[in-house]
Structure 1
Amino acid sequence: MNRHQVCVRGLILCGLLLLLGCKEAPSSALPELKVSGPTMGTHYAVKVVGDYPGGEPQLQHEVEQILQRIDHQLSTYKPDSELSRFNQHQATTPVEISQDLADVLIEGLRVGKMTGGAMDITVGPLVNLWGFGPDKRPTKIPSEQQIAAARLRTGLDKLHVEIGSDKATVRKDIPDLYVDLSTLGEGYAADQVAAWLDGRGIKNYMVEIAGALRLKGHNGQGDLWRIAVEKPGDELGQVQNVLTPGDNGISTAGSYRNYYELDGQRFSHIIDPATGKPLTHKLVSVTVIAPSALYTDALDTGLMVMGADKALIFANEHNLPIYTLTKTDDGFKVRFSRAFAAYQPKP
């Protein structure tokens, strides 16, 4: 997946949510099992409060099995992944797919329509053209002709998913349509790990797949999980705000780390499907809270594309908790939707 190849290509630090360090544990604190490691070109971390059958080794094994399965389904970097095979299918005939891939495609299409195309899972040709996908970065700024040609290969209306009684299929209206699920993959992975833990009867956990998290219950000290949103800037680890998302998913999209400079211009990895070009507005970060990390991961990119004013109007219309940071001459301006106030820790 594009954004999942962070360690190789530096593609996701912009969306980082930092876990706050815990204060010294009281004597009544419960142990926290912690496992972490590389996955899908980025990293994962899982915390489980209390016991887990088989301890940390078994927890790590089971989590990594889930993540490996998802990577082999959704990656655009693995030529043999399920998604890559569909992208290589140069025909308009239906292709049978797993229910997992169908679920992500359906959510991508739903949120894409919901956001008026601001989030577009078919934007891959433009992502690749600008050098933020598997292809190398360009040595020259793409021409208007190249952008127009790439845009002809995009369009949510050209992708169709059908769920039957015994199988799921996907088809495209043009043979070279290219689907990129990097804006949803981390959230889907976090949800899948969380569902596994729920099935194991775990009541308190934190799942982080790079910039997407799922939280449930309390930490080892008995407090609600507290998540720090990174402050934009060149220095890693600076905290802008601290949130208590509750039993929810939370993710952040941003444009201030994953970029490159060419011919004296700076280009962000987030592409506006309407123009075919990287974003140029001053919104640098959007954090979204919702029950599903897949939903938040799909939405945060679309909200980034909208810009702060439209994103906040959208969030208030949909009763959606979002938190935005906009660059100004005097620093970063914080704005948030009405529904967001409930998730800031009480003083």
Structure 2
Amino acid sequence: MPRILLLALTFCLWPSRLAPGEVARYEASHDAMGTVFTVVAYGADTRHLAAVVNEAFEEIDRIDAQMSNYKPESELSAINRNAASRSVLVEPRFFRLLQDSLRYSEETGGAFDITVGPLMRAWGFFRGQGRLPEKSEEANVLVKIGFRHVILDPATRTVRFDKVGIELDLGGIAKGYALD
């Protein structure tokens, strides 16, 4: 669906009052996921373009509400709170993203790893309070990182952590996913 939405933004040519061959440009920006998304769309009907761009922003907001580690009510926050003690049911598209993320982790030998949440917190990246953690703190955090501690069950569409302290952070993939 998100891919179709972006294609619609790019190739939207509906009948309008423009002269034949004339193309309108519509641009809008939207704050979400700690950044600014700007969409530029071209087509024959600016009202239709505005509606399609608004749909794109609504989808970005939906993904942000689902995958944010800043929002305690998000699905990601619920996973981080509960997956060390029980299996957590995950929405289908989100589950596929987790599967893809773990595959990328495997393919990169862990260079890409969605379990960096504890490290991000230790370095103060969550609230823009960057700091250098003490060596002992860093050592305690590093044992809580590792994509192999995330167990996905495709049959039940659930996620579970095999260790307490694991915390997912989708900052390295969620924005790109929202754009797709």
**TM-score, normalised to structure 1's length?**
0.43
Do the aligned partners of 2:150 and 2:161 also contact (CA within 8 Å) in 1? yes
- Return the offset for 1:53: 8.3
Residue deviations 1:9-46 (CA, integer Å, cap 9, x gap): xxxxxxxxxxxxxxxxxx95522222222122211112
Report the counterpart of residue 137 of structure 2 in structure 1: 146
Report the counterpart of residue 79 of structure 1 in structure 2: 72
Do the aligned partners of 1:52 and 1:59 also contact (CA within 8 Å) in 2? no
When residues 133 and 145 of structure 1 are mapped into structure 2, their CA distance, relative to the original with a 3 A threshold, is same
Q: Distance in 1 between matches of 2:48 and 2:42?
A: 11
Do the aligned partners of 1:124 and 1:179 also contact (CA within 8 Å) in 2? yes
Do the aligned partners of 1:128 and 1:135 also contact (CA within 8 Å) in 2? no
Do the aligned partners of 2:42 and 2:49 also contact (CA within 8 Å) in 1? no
Q: How many percent identity over aligned positions?
A: 32
Report the counterpart of residue 16 of structure 1 in structure 2: none
1:179 paired to 2:168: yes
Unaligned runs of 5+ in 1: 1-26, 192-347
- Return the offset for 1:90: 6.0
Unaligned runs of 5+ in 2: 1-19
Which amino acid in structure 1 is aligned with residue 126 of structure 2? Answer: G
- Return the offset for 1:69: 0.7
Bigger RCO (CA 8 Å, 6+ sep): 2
Which is richer in helix? 2
When residues 90 and 168 of structure 1 are mapped into structure 2, their CA distance, relative to the original with a 3 A threshold, is closer
When residues 134 and 50 of structure 1 are mapped into structure 2, their CA distance, relative to the original with a 3 A threshold, is same
Q: Distance in 2 between matches of 1:160 and 1:46?
A: 36
Q: Distance in 2 between matches of 1:90 and 1:108?
A: 17
- Return the offset for 1:60: 3.4
Which amino acid in structure 2 is aligned with residue 174 of structure 1? Answer: K
Q: Distance in 2 between matches of 1:102 and 1:39?
A: 22
Report the counterpart of residue 205 of structure 1 in structure 2: none
Which is richer in strand? 1
Residue deviations 1:89-108 (CA, integer Å, cap 9, x gap): 16332100111221221111
Which residue of 33, 58, 63 corresponds with 1:40? 33
Q: Secondary structure at the match of 1:175?
A: coil
When residues 87 and 52 of structure 1 are mapped into structure 2, their CA distance, relative to the original with a 3 A threshold, is farther
Stretch deviating more after TM superposition (88-97 or 28-37): 28-37
Q: Distance in 2 between matches of 1:33 and 1:135?
A: 33
Where in structure 1 do 4 or more consecutive aligned residues deviate above 6 Å? Answer: none
Q: Secondary structure at the match of 2:99?
A: helix
Do the aligned partners of 1:117 and 1:156 also contact (CA within 8 Å) in 2? yes
Q: Secondary structure at the match of 1:177?
A: coil
- Return the offset for 1:134: 4.2
Report the counterpart of residue 116 of structure 1 in structure 2: 109
Which residue of 180, 185, 190 corresponds with 2:179? 190
Do the aligned partners of 2:26 and 2:50 also contact (CA within 8 Å) in 1? no
Report the counterpart of residue 10 of structure 2 in structure 1: none
Q: Distance in 2 between matches of 1:46 and 1:32?
A: 10
Do the aligned partners of 1:77 and 1:134 also contact (CA within 8 Å) in 2? no
Which amino acid in structure 2 is aligned with residue 116 of structure 1? Answer: G
- Return the offset for 1:111: 0.8
Which amino acid in structure 1 is aligned with residue 85 of structure 2? Answer: T
Q: Distance in 1 between matches of 2:110 and 2:117?
A: 14
How many residues get paired? Answer: 161
Which amino acid in structure 1 is aligned with residue 143 of structure 2? Answer: L
When residues 135 and 36 of structure 1 are mapped into structure 2, their CA distance, relative to the original with a 3 A threshold, is closer
CA RMSD of aligned residues (A): 2.2
Q: Secondary structure at the match of 2:119?
A: helix
Report the counterpart of residue 66 of structure 1 in structure 2: 59
Q: Distance in 1 between matches of 2:87 and 2:46?
A: 42
Q: Distance in 2 between matches of 1:28 and 1:60?
A: 22
Which amino acid in structure 1 is aligned with residue 79 of structure 2? Answer: F
